[in-house]
Amino acid sequence: MKKMNNTIPRKPHIVFYFSDTGGGHRSAAEAIIEAVHLVYKDRVTTEMVDFFKDYAPLPFNKMPDWYPYMVKAPRLWSASFHATDGRAQARVITTTMWPIARQAAKALVRSHPADLIVTVHPFANSFALKALGNHRPPFINVVTDMVTTHALWYDKRADLILVPTETARQRAIKYKMPEEKVRVVGLPVADRYCKPKGRKSTQRKKLGWPVDKPIVLLVGGGEGMGPLGKTAREIDASGLDLCLVVVCGRNQKLKASLEAEKWENPTLIYGFTRDMPDFMRAADFIVTKAGPGTIAEALNAELPIILYSKLPGQEDGNVTFVQEEGAGVWAPTPQEVVRALTRWISRPAERQKVIENCRRAGRPEAARTIAQIIGEMLGL
């Protein structure tokens, strides 16, 4: 009698290279992984690797710890960004760094065997591809900067380069990437940011927010960066009749300071929260720094955007993108923030046009589109 073969076929394994230099890389990887499991259930396995922290040699493995301090010197950051941006400069960086990074890069790819690799960080691309050599699994590069994308994002050896905007696609082509390898898919964000809006009044009741006033959501990212407190105070003192919702992130000092103040308007102060999707659906306006993830999330929520700070270099183009799409404004002083709010509150038709522009510019399907592309490459 013939023996039955009961071996269960091995599931394809997808490895994501990211690093916590800013929150956007981790968020993008998590959003894609979530979408992969929503689309393909348990037919694949996934893994995230912080290549800087876990594999980079000293002192580069400290980059995730240094990043919050490095971006506090914006002029220096901008100068280094522009000085190193370009195909020739990128080649010099990777060639010069390879002797230092070789061992770490080879340990990374050896320790995490994969059927498909996804990178969401510019520094992972060339080093990983060089370490992998010719006999490697499919390699997808997901660009998580929206517009002003550094040359290190692009390596023509990748099988596919997925970008968030048409401008990013044009930059890829300018940097000699083969056109057939570059696709515009949008910026992947968590599925909770991609749900239908629903009624604002319902969301507000659930959150315990006023239902009868315009609500301004102020955020400064996970670290509570930007002139958050100063802007909140200026809006409160403006004479506008509204409710302020201020999200301080992990900045406990700022949170305590704002909670101790007396406010003219109803003002709700939050620390780090996982309720941002509900906050965005409940609010009328968002005042934020020009981070790509927050912009993509606000567009999906059809929430008019006021950008009040940016990181020079990679966030410059985000401001231009929001303005050109008619989805919001650049207001780098508290007084300009107040002017933008006053205009939108007093001109409902103009505000409605901005909401429609947000709807048009949003790409809530981005993460699932990337998941489907991964599935196709794995033959699922």
Q: Which fold has domain 13-187+364-378?
A: Rossmann fold (3.40.50)
Are 114 and 135 spatial neighbours (Cβ–Cβ below 8 Å)?
A: no
Rounded Cα distance, 303 and 50, in Å:
32
Q: Which segments of the chain belong to CATH 3.40.50.2000?
A: 13-187+364-378, 192-361
pTM: 0.89
Q: Which residues contact 347 (CB under 8 A, 6 or more apart)?
A: none
Put the strands of the sheet holding 13-18 in their side by side order.
45-50, 13-18, 116-119, 139-142, 160-163, 182-184
Q: Tokens for 146, please give them.
A: 């929206």
Matching CATH number, 192-361, of 3.40.50.920, 3.40.718.10, 3.40.50.2000, 3.10.200.10: 3.40.50.2000
What is the pLDDT tens value at each position of the chain, 380 positions in all? 445 555 667 899 999 999 887 668 899 999 999 999 999 999 999 999 998 788 776 666 556 555 565 556 566 656 676 667 767 777 767 888 778 778 888 998 999 999 999 999 988 898 899 999 989 999 999 999 998 888 889 999 999 999 999 999 999 999 999 999 999 999 999 999 998 878 999 999 999 999 999 999 999 755 545 588 999 999 999 999 999 999 998 889 999 999 999 999 999 999 989 999 999 999 999 999 999 999 999 999 999 999 999 888 778 899 999 999 999 999 999 999 999 999 999 999 999 999 999 999 999 999 999 999 999 999 98
Place of tokens 């348990």: 42
Rounded Cα distance, 310 and 16, in Å:
27
